[in-house]
């Protein structure tokens, strides 16, 4: 437990340095515990550092790579209350599956690394294996709050634990989707605004074409576009729209306004132009049917 708590403290420090998405090199390098190097992840999904030979410290879902199938289809349940984590291979008696089963029996906390893009991971802790489904070749995992993990053995489960973990798991799933969507959209657009090509990540957003509250608003790159904060705000407020042929339309209210060079060069000058930047992979480019749906909303709501 002291090693696990030290790992959690190390991850909290790294999030302060790097932000919510951590580079793989930091996780592979790990930290020092009583003179021993402790790595947090390895090449396999279920990982035990040398200092913890009995049970894993972390589980990982790799980010998808273009034109390559996912080795494991880890996913959340439809209601978001559980992570379904695949066995290593198809043998329930594989030693890595046995290690996770042991962590479940002893209620040991782990770290979950969610691959955002290749080489970058969102770290979630503490997570607990709470179910084993041998016929489906998977475990059920929930997420908890760090304050409920203490040095030494965990106490007996309290009556609100399942409800608390359900709430935290659902909220975490939403955050992971948001982080993943942002990272993958910005990567596809080479970390530049699709309109003005601004190249400062801190000033960029991943804008949904169809909002994520819409049934068609999936958190996939083809339903997103990288925009600087100015153009994202204008897009969300219907001051500008993007037609299905990728031509930018600026609302009449903005075109008729006179308010200095920022308005001219920041918004008005893009009217009638095509997006200046799109992903190289055609499958990641904005889907015309989604743009059509959003453009109809722009025509209805654009300030006049």
Render pLDDT for 198-222 as a digit per residue (tens, 0 to 9).
999 899 999 999 988 888 888 889 9
Fold designation for 2-185: PUA domain-like (2.30.280)
Among residues 27, 1, 2, the alpha carbon closest in space to that of 13 is found at 27
Is the per-residue pLDDT at 147 higher than 60? yes
User: For 125, what's the count of Cα atoms within 13 Å in the CB-facing half-sphere?
Assistant: 24
Mean pLDDT of all residues belonging to the chain: 91
Domain boundaries, the chain: 2-185, 192-301
Residue of 269, 256, 183 lying closest to 226 (CA atoms): 183
Q: What is the pLDDT of residues 253-304, one digit of tens each?
A: 999 888 878 888 889 999 999 999 999 999 999 999 999 999 999 999 877 6
pLDDT of 263: 85
Nearest CA-CA partner of 143 in 99, 120, 181, 175: 175
Amino acid 72: pLDDT = 56
* 254-279 per-residue burial string, b: 16 or more CB within 10 A, e: under 16: beeeeeeeeeeebbbebeeeebeebb
> Residue 101's closest CA among 130, 62, 126?
130
Q: Which residue bears the tokens 């996770």?
A: 100
What pTM value is reported for the model?
A: 0.81
Q: Say if residue 238's pLDDT is above 90.
A: yes
Q: What is the pLDDT of residue 87?
A: 96
The C-alpha atoms of residue 36 and residue 58 are separated, in whole angstroms, by: 18
Q: In the chain, what percentage of residues exceed pLDDT 90?
A: 74
Structure confidence by residue, pLDDT tens digits, 46-89: 999 999 999 999 999 988 776 665 555 678 998 989 999 999 99
Strand-pair category, 224-228 with 46-47 = unpaired
pLDDT for residue 161: 86
Comparing 39-48, 120-129, 146-155, 291-300, which segment has the lowest mean pLDDT?
146-155
**Cβ atoms 64, 220 nearer than 8 A:** no
pLDDT bucket at 149, cuts 50 / 70 / 90: confident
Per residue in 94-117, pLDDT (tens digit) is 999 999 999 999 999 999 999 998
* pLDDT exceeds cutoff 70 at 151: no
Report the C-alpha gap between 186 and 283 in whole angstroms.
15
């Amino acid at each position: 437990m002291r090693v696990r708590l030290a790992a959690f403290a190390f991850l909290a420090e790294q999030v302060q340095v790097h932000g919510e998405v951590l580079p793989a090199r930091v996780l592979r390098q790990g930290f020092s515990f009583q003179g021993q190097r402790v790595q947090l992840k390895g090449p396999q999904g279920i990982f035990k550092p040398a200092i913890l030979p009995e049970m894993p410290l972390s589980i990982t879902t790799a980010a998808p790579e273009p034109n390559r199938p996912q080795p494991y289809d880890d996913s959340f349940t439809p209601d978001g209350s559980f992570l379904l984590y695949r066995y290593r291979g198809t043998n329930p008696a594989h030693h890595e599956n046995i290690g996770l089963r042991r962590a479940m029996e002893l209620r040991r906390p782990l770290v979950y690394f969610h691959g955002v893009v290749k080489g970058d991971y969102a770290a979630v802790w503490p997570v607990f294996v709470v179910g084993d489904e041998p016929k489906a070749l998977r475990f059920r995992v929930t997420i908890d709050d760090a304050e409920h993990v203490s040095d030494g053995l965990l106490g007996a489960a309290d009556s609100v634990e399942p409800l608390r973990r359900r709430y935290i798991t659902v909220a975490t799933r939403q955050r992971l989707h948001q982080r993943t969507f942002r990272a993958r959209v910005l990567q596809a657009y080479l970390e530049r605004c699709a309109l003005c090509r601004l190249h400062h990540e801190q000033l960029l957003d991943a804008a949904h074409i169809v909002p994520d509250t819409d049934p068609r608003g999936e958190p996939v790159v083809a339903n997103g576009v990288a925009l600087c904060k100015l153009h994202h705000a204008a897009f969300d407020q219907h001051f500008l729209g993007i037609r299905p042929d990728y031509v930018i339309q600026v609302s009449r209210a903005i075109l008729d306004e006179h308010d200095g060079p920022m308005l001219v060069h920041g918004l008005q000058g893009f009217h009638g132009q095509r997006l200046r930047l799109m992903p190289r992979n055609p499958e990641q480019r904005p889907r015309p049917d989604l743009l059509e749906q959003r453009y109809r909303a722009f025509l209805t709501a654009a300030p006049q």
